[in-house]
Amino acid sequence: MTLKKLMAVLVAGISMAGVAGVAHAQEGGTLKKIKDTGTITLGVRDSSIPFSYLDDKQSYQGYSVDICMKVVTAVQKHLGLTSLQVKMNPVTSATRIPLMANGTIDLECGSTTNNLERQKQVTFAPTTFVTANRLLAKKSSSIKTLDDMKGKTLVSTSGTSNIKQLTALNSERNLGMSIQAAKDHAEAFLMVETGRAVAFAMDDVLLASLAASSKSPSDYAITEEALSVEPYGIMLRRDDPEFKKVVDAAVAGLMKSGEINRIYTKWFQSPIPPKGVNLNIPMSDALKAAIAKPTDSGDPAAYEAK
């Protein structure tokens, strides 16, 4: 064999290996998993009202669930499937990232903050809600700011960015708070309701939803002091650009068409199950900006008023 022919064979072999490598990378992703099984698994929450929660018929629904179902339709169309089974897999604040990383869930449809630290483990679709970390307490306790919590018991939900932030602030400000970790938002609210904690630190929209759905909504107040900006997004696995491309296009399509506004109105400005409570929360300027120019940024500064 001449040197010229030998080089040609080597080049051809390298090219085929490259093609095989690309094919393997594409086949190993979430889209192939979904196509092979005919199933897409959504990570959902039990008590993240109105984003993802169980109603009185034990059915998962909410703002994030509705958005995810639109994504499911887009994935089904992209894969050319005549049908696609949707499996609802309950997750908590503590389990959602591990269950995403190990392949148990394909999309997480809850109330998850997109931040730079989490982006080291997972990725996010364009932001679909913007909230802030605040405190909820009974009005009788007269809690107006975090400093009012000095020496008192604070609860937040295990596995959230909120509890991590409050732990740091507790140390930085020498507040001497006893910080308790609840398994979910419902348990954390119950601790305030029953007097086991003075305040519950969490995203304000979730606090408002829990208070509005409680036995005595007028008993509670949410502090005006915002401790952080929290952009929410649908979570998916990292290093799967093909799947992210389909998911991002579906979410951006909802924003461009205006469908996201109708979904928002359904969950934040209309009576919602199971009690028919209307949260009456207008869309914030920060969310309007994120809808006008979709972004998956995990930097809180990207959502602050310019």
Distances (CA, A) of 255 to 103, 132, 234: 28, 22, 14
The per-residue pLDDT for 304 is 82
Kindly report each contact of residues 81-88 with a partner whose C-beta sits within 8 Å and lies 24 or more positions away, as own/partner: 81/35, 81/38, 83/38, 84/34, 84/38, 84/39, 84/40, 85/38, 85/39, 85/40, 86/39, 86/40, 86/41, 86/42, 87/39, 87/40, 87/41, 87/42, 88/41, 88/42, 88/44, 88/60
pLDDT tens-digit readout, 33-65: 999 999 999 999 999 999 999 999 999 999 999
Domains and CATH numbers, the chain: 34-128+233-303 (3.40.190.10), 132-229 (3.40.190.10)
The per-residue pLDDT for 84 is 98
Asked whether 300 and 286 are in contact (CB, 8 A), the reply is no
The per-residue pLDDT for 22 is 38
The per-residue pLDDT for 306 is 58
Q: At what angle do helices 30-37 and 63-79 cross, to 10 degrees?
A: 80
Q: What is the DSSP letter of 218?
A: G
- Torsion sign (Cα): 283, 284, 288, 294: negative
Q: Two tokens at 175?
A: 């507040």
Nearest one of 251, 247, 246, 262 to 290, comparing CA atoms:
251
For the chain, list residues with pLDDT below 50. Answer: 1-27
